[in-house]
Amino acid sequence: MAAAKLITISCVASVFLIFFIKSSNAASYNVITFGAKPDGRTDSTQSFLRAWAVACRSAQASSIVVPKGRYLIKNAVFRGPCKSRITVQISGTIVAPNDYRALGKSDRWILFIEVDRLSIIGGTLDGKGAGFWACRKSGRNCPVGTRSITINSANNVIVSGLTSINSQLSHLVISSCNNVIVRNVKFIAPAESPNTDGIHVESSTGVTITGGTIQTGDDCISVGRGTRNLHMSNIKCGPGHGVSIGSLGKDLNEDGVENVTLTNSVFTGSDNGVRIKSWARPSRSFVRNVFFQNIIMRNVKNPILIDQNYCPNNQGCPNKNSGVKISQVTYRNIQGTSATPKAVAFDCSSSNPCRGIKLQDIKLTYMNKAATSTCKNIGGTISGVIMPRSCL
């Protein structure tokens, strides 16, 4: 028996040693070695792409190192599949061109596509979005605008410690991915900057977002079609438009959203807190099994909101009824202050009323007084202390 234990321990030690040696021997590729200049003026796009090409071909795990400094990057596509795990370790700042037109007609600044086992660690992205926002505000003929970083068709991805400022549009987009972890990120843009969502998730399963500070001109986190098993926690949101599921139901055969959780988060000065939003038009889409818990609202205009009558300019919405079916949504232990008298608003579809809505221990006030709530086409239950008085 002792000999068997000794053999087992020896095998475990050998496996650990092999893993340690392989980890220690991970290949490292410094972008400066490939010609990148940390001066913020020299176009380093091709240098980054050359480093990526070598790392992607490596049979062993590899790291792409971006040292301190500022690196000018234009549109860049980092494409897989790659042979092994890649870590992009950023100590410096990656900057977009000063002239927003230099990014052309693409809607993506930095794109990772079809890359599995990818980690993006640290660093700052500066999207230089002010010129683009000014163009849009002036009504001139502008490019479509770019999202700072997009991760598309990837599996087992980690984004950790990333800061993104002044993205032209969304800061981070996760699309058609599985098993993504986003942690300890900071995404900043002025409150008046249009469509600068912090994180947008769509057509993805198993995304976890934790420990984010998001202050933007649009949704802190937006949840789009085809999102499943999304867990969000410890989010500091505001200014911005809150955490939004939707808008959904623009198309008839649109995939739905299910199994979404937001916990232990704080909203400060945002237009919305937790919002579900759908177009007032026919659709087979749905929202189900959603859980909002342990949330603090500080001077939020619409702390709790379901809006199924979204129809910009009142165009393309026959009968003005949403086909999106909303069910099994729980709001638990949500407290704080509303910036408007109406703290809770459920405006559900008359043709597809909301079902299974649960309110438990809600305490929202307006200017130290009782706030109000409104309900349309909704069914559900309440428990615990409910302020404002429930209209369910």
For the annotated catalytic residues, the residue numbers are 218, 241
Strands 372-376, 369-370: pairing is unpaired
CB atoms within 10 A of CB 182: 24
DSSP state string for 379-391 = EEEEEEEEESPP-
Q: How many CA atoms lie within 13 A of 263 on its CB side?
A: 6
Structure tokens at 99: 């002239």
Least Cα distance to 246 among 268, 265, 218 occurs for 218
CA distance 49 to 60: 19
User: Do 188 and 198 contact (CB within 8 A), yes or no?
Assistant: no
User: Do 163 and 186 contact (CB within 8 A), yes or no?
Assistant: yes
DSSP assigned state of 101: G
The SS3 call for residue 301 is coil
Rounded CA Rg of the chain: 23
CA distance 3 to 163: 53
DSSP assigned state of 242: -
Is it true that the peptide bond before 312 is cis, omega within 30 degrees of 0? no
Q: How many CA atoms lie within 13 A of 16 on its CB side?
A: 6
Strands 369-370, 199-202: pairing is unpaired
Structure tokens at 87: 């870590």
Least Cα distance to 187 among 160, 220, 159 occurs for 220
Strands 354-366, 369-370: pairing is antiparallel
